[in-house]
Amino acid sequence: MRTQVAIIGAGPSGLLLGQLLTRHGIDNIILENRSADYVLGRIRAGVIEQSAADVFDEAGVGARMRKEGLLHDGTQICFDGRRHRIDFRALAGKPVIVYGQTEITRDLMEARAASGATTVYEALDASLHDFSGDKPRVRYRKNDQDFEIECDFIAGCDGFHGVSRQSFPAGAIRNFERVYPFGWLGLLSDTPPVSEELIYIHHERGFALCSMRSHTRSRYYLQCSLADGVEDWSDDRFWEELKRRLDDEARAKLVTGRSIEKSIAPLRSFVAEPLRHDRLFLAGDAAHIVPPTGAKGLNLAASDVHYLSEGLIEFYRKGSPAGLDRYSERALARIWKAERFSWWMTTLLHKLPDASDFDRKLQHTELEYLVSSEAAQKSMAENYVGLPY
Ligand code: FAS
Ligand code: PHB
């Protein structure tokens, strides 16, 4: 088989890149080692920046998001049992869109199927070859048969545990990482949200987040120990712990119900540099991970793909490598700012196990400063709604 761009991974990054390239007449094949149903079954991000929404529009997959997504003009920060609103519209001039990653992925899958572009699901043991020359190749196995794809470029969109970043030659990539000593226990339920906007809660028992997918479907998170397994958390235990961390008004409004999904995600900050080795590029979680506190993971994937697709389109349309040569530096500039913000939100809001009394006083002072300073709120708002591309 031959294509122009071989994409590894059919998560949001791979599907979005594939859709943009296809719309510009650039042939591409996506290899995904899981089934489409498995990919759709993963419950992840919920908040879309306007800039990412614009990329989804450009890819022709923004219609349902614009119709069904919820526009949020602000968010709530809760500590000491009191809520404080951060007004995105007033402080940063725009809202965010609350729309589940699952739905974006579904929209991208449907658009790709309609375009006739090739996605190979359950493509196993992908291996990347000769990407330092001008004839890169990707090999994979499907139904006990071996296949090989010749291509011009390989886009590694295969997430943190994928094969692409691991395929960089030894010494050709540097990893920067911070692992947090706690996880997020997430629960999805067909119950009405406790408030119109998201509530980020700093509590002595641990962080909690009240989010949503619609007016009838809620998404909640509790900071939990990394020693916890999902089996340790019955629905009843989850709801009782969440009630302890909610303020009085939210506790009174909380509607509990059966979980339709429950999972624990570890939290880490991670960046790989550079994002390119000759004809192999990294985008999305293959290149970086952020703690979900700042709702940046999916949105960074969108900006990476925006930059990379621009470079590839310029290469095929004008024969210029300039955009591809700038990709890594351009993407990393925005990635590191999102890493900073996600780290700041995480250390501000979570119960930090190894914090001294001084650290805890400083954390509380940071919260008090945020809710009492317009300048501090403006900084949070401009980062939360998304810095410019
Ligand atoms: P993804 O990991 O989504 O997709 C990579 C794809 O590549 C997967 O489908 C995988 O099966 C495939 N793949 C892997 N190895 C392969 C191989 N060798 N061959 C072929 N295919 C391969 N972000 C937020 O903003 N908010 C959140 O609340 C949030 N929660 C998250 C919870 C979890 C458990 C995780 C892991 C991430 C979460 N994220 C969250 C971040 C998440 O939304 C990512 O940023 C987003 O999925 C990035 O998309 P991709 O880069 O496509 O990576
Ligand atoms: C979610 O709804 O899944 C969500 C929202 C905001 C975050 C993280 C996750 O910061």
Evaluate: CB of 302 within 6 angstroms of ligand 1.
no
Buried b (16+ CB within 10 A) or exposed e, 14-29: bbbbbbbbbbeebebb
**Which of 39-48, 185-194, 215-224, 276-285 shows the lowest per-residue confidence on average (mean pLDDT)?**
39-48
Mean pLDDT estimate for the chain: 97
Closest ligand 2 atom to 211 CA: 2
pLDDT for residue 126 is more than 90: yes
What domains appear along the chain, each with residue ranges and CATH number? 5-72+97-177+268-346 (3.50.50.60), 181-266+350-385 (3.30.9.10)
Evaluate: CB of 156 within 6 angstroms of ligand 1.
no
Closest ligand to Cα 40: 1
| pLDDT the model gives residue 43 | 86
| pLDDT the model gives residue 146 | 98
Alpha helices in the chain (DSSP H): 12-23, 36-41, 50-58, 63-68, 88-92, 101-115, 235-245, 248-253, 297-318, 322-349, 357-372, 374-384
| pLDDT the model gives residue 315 | 98
Average pLDDT for residues 78-89, to the nearest whole number?
98
Q: What would the pLDDT profile of 173-186 be if each residue is shown by its tens digit?
A: 999 999 999 999 99
| pLDDT the model gives residue 318 | 97
Average pLDDT for residues 196-215, to the nearest whole number?
97
Residue nearest to atom 2 of ligand 2 (CA): 46
Q: Which residues are catalytic?
A: 72, 200, 292, 296, 384
Average pLDDT for residues 65-72, to the nearest whole number?
97
pLDDT for residue 231 is more than 90: yes
- DSSP readout, 31-74? E-SS-HHHHHH-----EE-HHHHHHHHHTT--HHHHHHSEEESE
pLDDT for residue 302 is more than 90: yes
pLDDT for residue 144 is more than 90: yes
Residue identified by tokens 């989010």 is 211
The conformational region for residue 331 under phi > 0 = left, psi -120 to 50 = alpha, else beta, is alpha
Closest ligand 1 atom to 295 CA: 25
Pocket test for ligand 1, best of 128, 285, 307, 341 (most atoms within 8 A of CB): 285
Average pLDDT for residues 124-143, to the nearest whole number?
97
Residue nearest to atom 6 of ligand 2 (CA): 295
